[in-house]
Amino acid sequence: MNNILEIKNLEKSYDKFKLGEINLEIPKGAIVGLVGENGAGKTTLIKAILNIIRPDKGSIKIFGEDSKSQDVLQDIGVVLDNMFFPEILRIKDIDIIMKGIFKNWDTNLFDKYLKDFELNKKMVIKTLSKGMKKKLEIATALAHHPKFLILDEPTSGLDPVVRGEVLDIFLDFIQDENNCILLSTHITSDLEHIADKIVFIHEGKVVLDKTRDDIVDNYGILKCSRDDFEKIQRSDILAFKKNRYDYEVLIDNKEKMQKKYKDFVIDKITIEDLMILMIKGERIC
């Protein structure tokens, strides 16, 4: 089994929103970045994977088993966007509770992360800052030796130094090539540092599923004047944006386009640039 997560033909409908069909695979040893604007369906997808909501259609397999299996859940570490611990608890209570839930809970490892994150077990959760709560969630997610991390905005609220430390922890986690991470975030620069693959969801559908290297090596932004824009073959344009003085054109074969349009400037693209052009950019009819 090479894939830790396999999703086939997944659908979930609400009154004003539909997720799917979603087909997605996450291989062992990979960090997969899940991106998209607010309301695109990222959190709905994560909740379906975690069996928090029931899909209308399709299948989700984790470690080759149905995602509803309790054995499967034992090997998943989770960080959600909103803190899920009762705020009246102390950090030491989390240790006690998790011992009763996870058979592989490791108090020593939990204590190590608390020390690294400068968290005291005597602290009451309601007194923690947003960043400290996020650190606690990350420590809890890792302390039972999971094989699959599902992370929803795990670095939100963290300063750049701590964010870097957390990203290093995630990279260490996948050094064991049997592990993998699904990381949903709006901080796309994090993904440019650590992600192996980018999955972009827009209006409930996967509109892009590429390796980070493919995006960096092949996608770009061709910049040109209004007159030069008319010289570009329509089939070469994925999307475009009109600016006050020029056009920005999304292309997906930099090497070929550079040879074809020798006098045009083609800039490197960031994941954020890609998202903006795919969401806000115009299409050739």
Question: How many domains does the chain contain in total?
Answer: 2
Same domain, 132 and 234: no
The C-alpha angle 129, 182, 163, rounded to 5 degrees, equals: 35
Of 174, 191, 211, the one marking the end of a domain is 211
Same domain, 207 and 226: no
Same domain, 188 and 229: no
Same domain, 194 and 227: no
> Would you say residue 271 lies in a domain?
yes
> Would you say residue 285 lies in a domain?
no
Q: What is the predicted pLDDT for the residue at 1?
A: 61
The structure tokens 């997906």 sit at 252
Of 177, 211, 245, the one marking the end of a domain is 211
Alpha-helical (H) ranges within the chain are 42-49, 70-74, 91-99, 107-116, 130-142, 160-173, 188-194, 212-218, 226-229, 254-260, 271-280
Same domain, 228 and 200: no
Same domain, 200 and 224: no
Same domain, 14 and 69: yes
> Which amino acid type is present at position 229?
F
pLDDT band for position 96 (cuts 50, 70, 90): very high
Same domain, 70 and 141: yes
> What are the pLDDT digits (tens) for 215-266?
999 999 999 998 999 999 999 999 999 998 899 999 999 999 999 998 899 9
Same domain, 191 and 273: no
> What are the pLDDT digits (tens) for 49-85?
999 999 999 999 999 888 877 788 899 999 987 767 8
The structure tokens 């611990």 sit at 85
> Would you say residue 251 lies in a domain?
yes
Q: What is the predicted pLDDT for the residue at 60?
A: 95
- Mean pLDDT of all residues in the chain? 92
The CATH number of the domain holding residue 91 is 3.40.50.300
- Flag whether pLDDT at 285 surpasses 70: no
Q: What is the DSSP letter of 42?
A: H
Of 211, 233, 248, the one marking the end of a domain is 211
> What are the pLDDT digits (tens) for 161-201?
989 999 999 999 999 999 999 999 999 999 998 999 999 99
Percent of the chain clearing pLDDT 90 (strictly above): 79
Domain span at residue 42 reads 3-211
Same domain, 105 and 223: no
Same domain, 80 and 189: yes
